[in-house]
Structure 1
């Protein structure tokens, strides 16, 4: 059996009181709210372990899950250590997401009163694990934080979190289960769509399904990019809208309106994808059926020599020397102004991974208070610059957010941000302080 944390009290002083419960692979929690945490939290979780939590909140509510702390072994596809979250008590239902690394996932919400979490670790040492809070609530308690739930009104709308003020969060998954009267069908019109673009919609997407399950045979469409799809019409009185974002680029999101219409008044939509086809794992070869209905056997492939199994150890990349120190902002606006070669306020419009864990940040400049040799590109009235953050996680910049940026510039005019440089989320109150500092002589 495994010792897995099932209940925690979390105070403002960040003191944690942990009660351990025996977890023989599974742990059932039936309560209005509570904490779940990885084994031995807040110390490092054990290798080669697996634990599953079955969460049930009162009937008529949905499960809302918020990760407070998240620290698992990082991998681009979460192959080694991970937390899976399911929209119910079964592996066959929709998976709300698989998460790893140190990027805290966004809030998750189920479409019913049940949710399942599963954490697994491999043989190597991992991090501190996770701490999450769950509670039962009604959908749309806070439109800027949660999304999804059950909608039973004859008309309404669905939208991504933070719409329309900010980009949707990274690492979030949620579903809306829409049900109308049995003698009606559902028509959906997208007013706006702005999700990370990809030919196959693999990263961020919104998918629509006939019925209430994410069954690919019932999928009406899967959409991403910035071109809203045509009007979508269901073949019945139920519709599932699924939204997923990965842990990288985000966008404005989407706003869609639905309305119930009479059966037979419109033709149901079929195969309206912006992606070329269903994004599912290749299915096994099945026997082909002749027109007469007889099954023709599939020829057996010629046997091939069985390759030897080679177990390769995981390669640990060399640490970026710029990322060794802890990520803590030092100094203030006043003390950092003069030592910095450039001081600007601007919006991070794109983040491109660079060499050795760095990231190139394209910034649309709001105002320049100190330019130095900084290479600034002018296009009409718009000014922009590309700044290289030497450590992608420090400072942790996000696309679509406005910042005060203070950094260094080399002889070629190329700008860099080190973990010790000053970066701050931009607010209007900073403008007056920066304007006064720009008038002073350094």
Structure 2
């Protein structure tokens, strides 16, 4: 008699994701309300994750599809260390899936915010508990409070860093100290706009584009960085494709005031330095553009055309975000990219000179300071952009300076 074969189908209920919640244990899942359906508009959902004492939280996004914006202003997911007043580890939107995110303790908070217009299916992520000192190749980062120390990519120096990693180091000095940062070796996947693998350095204790000092990739170590106050945040991110050797960096605390050096001889160019503050004399000059596109091209670090999308006044300066139409000369200007949209932040050192208005298109030429910020000085060449300018700019792009 032939032996009969039986097969059994086991059905597991699909998890129902609600807006926020309290999650505990060794592992679990969380997702946007109604996932995989379209998430609702005008919502704010908060998930508080707690793993056993003595362990850390590891968060892996399995899927993310939120309204895309180059600054993540509309719909986004924020991830924090701890449950309240925690350091923000990252902000994510669009369809970019970050690598593993690791807390410094046994608590993590995830918050998703959507505006009136939604576009996408939301997100789904898995959390798990890990030993803080046995986190494997994918986990790195942490809080650094000793007077000096080092930080490096996973696997350094034995082999390339892995794909799909997010590391965040939070350096905290005493209130009366600053932090000096130097990269000894540096090799990340090269890209003109550092869209794939990069290191970003922020003043303060969280990932915040308004406080970003610079974004770096390629094989040239960034210039030494000095914090504005007593906190720095270093974020390393690798995507899911090419990798490279990685980096090792060193930091040390230093007094706020260092001995001054003799002032350099006066020149006609305005120096661009870290923490540049406009003097009254500088900002009282007549705001008059000199020269032409051609005569200013070579003396500028960066040349771009773009639309001013945000302007914020800070003291005597204006901080502007420019949605880029075209880049003719990039220099070291940090460029952000979300999908096909590129943007850059520039600081108009004297807010009224030259005057940038939101919603208008400009040709912007400027310098990049030691702090990695694009600076527009009163003598920088700025003019309204018209289509007829493209021919001249394209010709200049091929010019050898």
Q: TM-score if structure 1 supplies the norm length?
A: 0.47
Q: Which runs of 4+ in 1 moved over 6 A?
A: 15-19, 58-62, 71-79, 89-92, 271-274
Do the aligned residues in 1 keep the contact of 2:194 with 2:217 (CA within 8 Å)?
A: yes
Aligned to 2:20: 26
Aligned to 2:110: 116
Equivalence map 1:84-99=2 (5 Å): 84=77, 86-87=79-80, 93=88, 95=90, 97=92
Kindly provide the CA deviation profile for residues 264-313 of structure 1, in whole angstroms up to 9, marking residues without a partner as x: 23799569997413537578xx9x9548xxxx996998xxxxxxxxxxxx
Q: CA deviation at 1:46?
A: 4.0
Quick one: distance in 2 between partners of 1:300 and 1:220? Answer: 25
Aligned to 2:269: none
Quick one: distance in 2 between partners of 1:146 and 1:300? Answer: 42
Equivalence map 1:250-289=2 (5 Å): 250-265=243-258, 269=274, 275-277=332-334, 279=336, 281=343
Quick one: distance in 1 between partners of 2:130 and 2:150? Answer: 22
Q: CA deviation at 1:172?
A: 2.5
Equivalence map 1:110-149=2 (5 Å): 110=103, 113-116=107-110, 118=112, 132-135=126-129, 138=132, 140-142=133-135, 144-149=137-142
Aligned to 2:149: 156
> What's the secondary structure of 1:87's corresponding residue?
strand
CA pair 281-163 structure 1, distance change in 2 beyond 3 A:
same
Equivalence map 1:313-352=2 (5 Å): none
CA pair 144-298 structure 1, distance change in 2 beyond 3 A:
closer
With CA pairs under 8 Å and 6+ residues apart, which has the higher RCO, 1 or 2? 2
Match of 1:239 among 221, 232, 236: 232
Q: CA deviation at 1:195?
A: 0.9
> What's the secondary structure of 1:203's corresponding residue?
coil
Kindly provide the CA deviation profile for residues 58-93 of structure 1, in whole angstroms up to 9, marking residues without a partner as x: 8997853244x94678999999xx994523579994
Quick one: distance in 2 between partners of 1:191 and 1:46? Answer: 47
Query: What is the RMSD of the two structures over their aligned residues, measured on CA atoms?
Result: 5.2
> What's the secondary structure of 2:170's corresponding residue?
strand
Quick one: distance in 1 between partners of 2:38 and 2:249? Answer: 44
Instruction: Show structure 1 runs of 5+ residues with no match.
Output: 1-14, 302-442
Instruction: Show structure 2 runs of 5+ residues with no match.
Output: 1-9, 261-272, 277-300, 302-329, 337-341, 361-401
Q: Aligned pairs, how many?
A: 270
Quick one: distance in 2 between partners of 1:70 and 1:96? Answer: 16
Task: Decide which structure has the larger Cα Rg and report it.
Answer: 1
Match of 2:50 among 51, 57, 61: 57
Aligned to 1:209: 202
Quick one: distance in 2 between partners of 1:225 and 1:18? Answer: 47
Match of 1:180 among 159, 166, 173: 173
Do the aligned residues in 2 keep the contact of 1:147 with 1:174 (CA within 8 Å)?
A: yes
Quick one: distance in 2 between partners of 1:47 and 1:66? Answer: 22
Do the aligned residues in 2 keep the contact of 1:186 with 1:239 (CA within 8 Å)?
A: yes
Aligned to 2:182: 189
Quick one: distance in 2 between partners of 1:83 and 1:289? Answer: 31
